[in-house]
Every structure is written in C-alpha cells, then in structure tokens.
Amino acid sequence: MSLSDLDLPRETRGLLLDLGVAEARFAGGTLKVRSPVDGSEIGRVAEDDAAGTAATIAAAHEAFLAWRLVPAPQRGELVRLFGEELRAGKAALGRLVSLEVGKIVSEGLGEVQEMIDICDFAVGLSRQLYGLTIATERAEHRMMETWHPLGVVGIISAFNFPVAVWSWNAALALVCGNAVVWKPSEKTPLTALATTALFEKALARFAAGGGTAPAGLAGLILGGRDLGEVLVDHPKVPLVSATGSTTMGRAVGPRLAGRFARAILELGGNNAAIVAPSADLDLTLRGVAFSAMGTAGQRCTSLRRLFVHDSVYDALVPRLQKAYGSVTIGSPLEAGTLIGPLIDGAAFERMQRALDAARSQGGTVTGGERALEADAPDAFYVRPALVEMPAQCGPVEEETFAPILYVMRYSDFDEALALHNAVPQGLSSSIFTNDIREAEAFLSDRGSDCGIANVNIGPSGAEIGGAFGGEKETGGGRESGSDAWKAYMRRATNTINYGRSLPLAQGVKFDVA
C-alpha cells in the first residue's frame, strides 16, 4: 500500500477504541495530532489547563497518602496486572506508536516490549526494597537504614519514546509507593491516552481481586510547556523525571533546585563510536547502520560521530556509503521498511541547517535529501546522511535529532578517545575492537566519559536491566537498572537502643544530675 492510499485517521480511531480510550478523549479537542507517516490529522485532544493540572497533582498526592500504606508486594501485583494488559494490547499499542511517532513496526512493538520488561523487573523489585543493618560503635544499639516513598513523581516524556520512558519511571515509582503524574509530549498524546486506558484496566482487575488502589494514582495531563511548568513548580511533587533536550533540562533543573526538589534528567546525547584497526568490519557495519539510522536518527542514543582508524577507513566508509544509499525508506507500516519519517517539518529544517553547516566546515555529504515528497507532501522522509568531516568542529559538536553520521579519521587511540570525550554531552558510546587493551582502556577510568560504554555493539538501544542515563549535559539521571529504585524513595537512618545505658557517639560525655 502506498502512502497516498493510507487512511490513518480511521485506523487510529479503531486502535484507540480497541485499547479502551473513549472517543471523547481524542476527538473534538483543541490539540491537533498529526501522524508523521503522511502528515494527516489523526486526532484532536482536549487540553488541560493550569487549574486542572493542579487538581490532578492534588488528587495524586491524596492517592499517595493511601498507596504508601499498601505493602510493596501488593503494589507489585498491580504492576504485574498492568504488564498483562500490555501483553494483551501489545499489537495495538505498538501499531499506535508507529502511527503517532513514525517508528517502523518492529520498533513500535519493541517499545511496548520495553514496557512489559520493566513491569516484570518492577514486580520482582517489589520484594527487594532492601535497607542495610549498619555496624554501630555503641553497645546494645542497632543501626539500620529504611526506605520510604517520596510522594508524587512527575514524569515529562519526549516524543521519540512516547510510552516506554513513562513506564521506566512509573513501574518503579508505583512499587516504591508513590503516585505519578505524566505530562507527555504534546506531539504524542494519543499513545499516552492508550497507555492510561490499559493502566485503568489493570486497576479494575486489581480492585476485583481484592486490592486497594486509590483514585488519582496515575494522573495524565495533556498540553504544552505551561503544564510542564506547573508540574515542575508544584510543592507536592518532590521528584520530576524529565526526558528531552539539554535546553529543556536547563529550564527544568534550576526550577527544581530552587525548591529543593529532586530531578532525574535524561537529556541530549552526541554519541560516538571508535572503529579500531582490529575491528570486525562486518559486525561494525551492522552495528553502525542500526545505531545511526534506526528510528530515523531520533533516539537519545543514536550514533552521531564515528572515528575510524586510518588503516580501515577506506575499507569501511565505502561500505557505509553503499548501505546509506540502498537502505529502504518508506512507510513505517510496511514490511521491509527500515527508515521511517522524521517527526515533523521542524526536524527536517534542523537537519538541513546542520548539513549546510557541515559543508561550510569542509564536510562531504552523502545523502540527506528529502524523499517521497511526491507521495507524502505533508510528511518529512529523508535519506540518512553520511558526512565525512576533516575535523570535529561546528555541527559535529552539537546534537541534531536526525539521521546524520559524522565520520572522521584518526591515527592514534588516545587522540580518538580525547575527541570522543570532547563534546558537552555524555550519554552513550562504543568501541569496535578485538584488542583487549583498547577495549579495557575504553571502559576504564581514563576511557569513555559516558553513562553507557559498549564494546563491539553500537551505542543505541538499552535493556531495562542496566541503568540508563548519562553524564555532563546529559543530566546525570539514571532510570532502570540495579538501584534506580532508590531515586524514587527517601532514606532514613534509624538507631535503636535496647539497653539501659545511653552512650553517646564519638565518646562524647554529657552527664546531667
């Protein structure tokens, strides 16, 4: 089926109804939703206002006061049921992700699988919220740490992973005893409505099975930046997890710090890979191709810089150019498509500005042109761009959320490592090498300065078992992984005296008559 033959409004309506979203939620509102697949309008969502947002937060706070008293394994049961609803709705929700974001079918389904995986992870975690018993210097005393829920967790998510990022935060926050309020991107409200509907199904099953879950436990607010500001500034929201650009983080971080609230910031990434002389070039080609071109370059972890050793440059780069020229671009709903559209025209314009800047710095650009304009004039498909650069300068040092890969030569490993770390962002990184010294050096204290460092796989993509996040202008936040749950809780240190004397710490004497 060609792009011109699609009827996305009809299909979107059917998916939303199947997932349990009332038609009034996605029809007749003021917020227009357009599919990047063909540019058609697929919904009109009613927007919240500041007063409604404050009311949603207040309801979530009341829900928290009750939910924190529910034993953690019972809270885990709710998340388990939600995971079951996601399994049942995976095909429909994954398809909706493809319609609203433009991801190819396997990536839309993969995003829902991430949600299922984090639910499984959180269910196990609900019986493992461990504290420590601590050695004390005082006889007949016991010292320990305990962990308690924080309150309302605000979640601000970006368009590129419209539902998975919410689930990473919400699943952990809920088993820890918190309530959540979600402000999704205004570009992707439909998948948020569908996810909320699935969660409400889980809530109903939880209640039918004898569980107690208060109203307002998982709030949703739809609209623009002003609603995000209400969430960030609200005194009943002790933690905000915000995913987006570094510019967004610069606005959110200081406002949270100003009221001593916590932040989990997942911001920009200008991710790089080093291709060493010993690299397996067949493996490297596949790793680079997905990392740089997957999701049309619209992943936080997309590969954007590639440092290739002189000895393998002429063997690898022509193969990359061939792959870039032959990769299948088209409707993400069609089998065999690898590259779907950019999210909108603004993303296309930013890509073209970056390519123009690269040319002005001496770069040689292969690809980057608009594609399928005749078939879908209101959508923005592009051929991924491979840009050979004489040096790391200009646009190479910035993140452009589009499929642009800057390629540079290097001759010395330490030189490549220094260039790798020389940008302000620090999310994900990788090295392709069969030299154990290079691999270990890359992972060592003097190696990659990113939150994610890989060997012989690309920087793009993550599993929920490992902590996700980065350093420097990426914000320092972490989601998922072994101890990410601690970010959603507060720690208390407790000392119990079970004796009859009262020795003071550090040998202090304070005797009174």
**Where in the sequence numbering do the catalytic residues fall?**
266
* SS3 state of residue 370: strand
Whole-number Å distance between alpha carbons of 44 and 29: 5
C-alpha closest to that of 469 among 454, 487, 450, 482 = 450
The two tokens of residue 72 are 């953690």
Could you tell me if 416 and 441 are in contact, meaning their C-beta atoms sit under 8 angstroms apart? no
The residue written with tokens 């998975």 in the block is 164
* SS3 state of residue 233: helix
Which residues lie below 8 Å from residue 403, measured CB to CB, with a gap of 6+?
292, 293, 296, 297, 302, 339, 351, 382, 384, 385
* SS3 state of residue 430: strand
The residue written with tokens 């019986």 in the block is 127
CA distances from 118 to 155, 186, 218, 231, 276 (A): 16, 24, 17, 24, 35
Q: Which amino acid is at 286?
A: R
Which residues lie below 8 Å from residue 342, measured CB to CB, with a gap of 6+?
36, 102, 296, 298, 348, 351, 380, 381, 382, 402
For the chain, how many helices (H) and strands (E)? 14, 21
Whole-number Å distance between alpha carbons of 368 and 355: 8
Whole-number Å distance between alpha carbons of 92 and 84: 14
Between β-strands 385-388 and 364-366, what pairing exists: parallel, antiparallel or unpaired?
antiparallel
C-alpha closest to that of 368 among 435, 432, 297 = 297
Whole-number Å distance between alpha carbons of 76 and 123: 5
Could you tell me if 446 and 284 are in contact, meaning their C-beta atoms sit under 8 angstroms apart? no
